[in-house]
Amino acid sequence: MNHMTSPDLAFLLLRATEAEVGVSVVTSNPALLRSKLYAERKRLGLTNLTFVQPPVDSDTRLWIIKKDVKNGTTQD
């Protein structure tokens, strides 16, 4: 298993754009990760992504998901 001591924020965002729905990230501080991801998302212009703390394990996980999937639509 590959563990990153410091997450590569751009990598996480790009992985989420390539995924069907998005990615789930394990973190010790979801709020801090979210704030860092907002800045990186803006820098990269990836406005199609949003960040959600899931209903289960919200203290240790953050979802990076595509906005169109969150709204119930798909993009072909």
Contact between 42 and 72 under an 8 Å Cβ cutoff? The reply is no
Kindly calculate the radius of gyration of the chain based on its CA atoms and give it in whole angstroms: 12
Structural domain contains residue 33: yes
pTM of the model: 0.79
How many structural domains compose the chain?
Answer: 1
Q: Residue 73: its pLDDT value, please?
A: 52
Q: pLDDT (tens digit, 9 = 90+) per residue, 15-63?
A: 999 999 999 999 999 999 999 999 999 999 999 999 999 999 999 999 9
- Asked if the structure places residue 2 within a domain, the reply is no
With respect to residue 76, please indicate whether it lies within any of the assigned structural domains: no
Quick check: is 57 in a domain? yes
Structure tokens given for 3: 């563990």
Question: What is the span of the domain harbouring residue 35?
Answer: 9-68
Residue 1 inside a domain? The answer is no
